[in-house]
């Protein structure tokens, strides 16, 4: 699942699912993640695609655009919470937006964000999962 993470490839070998409805942003996200050493298993452009893809066990973490056309990523995020899968929300909304209140304990990255911020948020989400898996309570940002 997660191989060594170093400064040159901080996401080396990490398998990531991307759910982003803007094709150009999705391509940019994929490039950013691959440059950081990640393996992007799929890019979903709609909530329905993401929900169908969420049943697979071939990724360790997900990047979810909160606003997916007329939908939000909340149903997908809830599914990941039930399954114990880490994710970050990558959104054009500000962190204080009421529609994000349900996810205040999860990593939220506001668009546009530098690559290092996105990569750091993913590493944080993965480390929280590791802490939860070991049974320790990890504080959420």
137 domain residue, yes or no: no
| CATH code of the domain in which 44 resides | 3.40.50.2300
139 domain residue, yes or no: no
73 domain residue, yes or no: yes
4 domain residue, yes or no: no
pLDDT in tens, the chain (141 residues): 333 445 678 999 999 999 999 999 999 999 999 999 999 999 999 999 999 999 899 999 999 999 999 999 999 999 999 999 999 999 998 888 888 999 999 999 999 899 999 999 999 999 986 555 433 333 333
6 domain residue, yes or no: no
C-alpha pair distances (Å), 133 with each of 3, 19, 33, 95: 17, 24, 24, 27
CB neighbours of residue 1 within 10 Å: 11
Quick one: pLDDT at residue 50? Answer: 97
What is the domain count for the chain?
A: 1
Could you list the residue range(s) of the whole structural domain that residue 65 is in? 15-132
- Phi and psi at residue 136, to the nearest 5°: -90, 150
Quick one: pLDDT at residue 137? Answer: 36
């Amino acid at each position: 699942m997660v191989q060594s993470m170093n400064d040159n490839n901080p996401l080396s070998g990490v398998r990531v699912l991307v759910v982003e409805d803007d094709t150009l942003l999705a391509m940019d996200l994929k490039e950013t993640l691959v440059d950081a050493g990640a393996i992007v298993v799929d890019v979903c452009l709609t909530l329905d695609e993401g929900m169908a893809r969420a049943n697979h066990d071939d990724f360790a973490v997900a990047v979810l655009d909160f606003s997916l056309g007329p939908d939000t990523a909340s149903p997908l995020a809830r599914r990941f919470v039930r399954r114990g899968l880490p994710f970050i929300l990558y959104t054009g909304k500000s962190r204080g937006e009421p529609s994000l209140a349900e996810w205040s304990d999860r990593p939220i990255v506001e668009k546009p964000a530098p690559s290092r911020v996105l990569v750091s948020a993913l590493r944080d989400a993965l480390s929280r999962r590791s802490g939860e898996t070991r049974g320790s309570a990890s504080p959420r940002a």
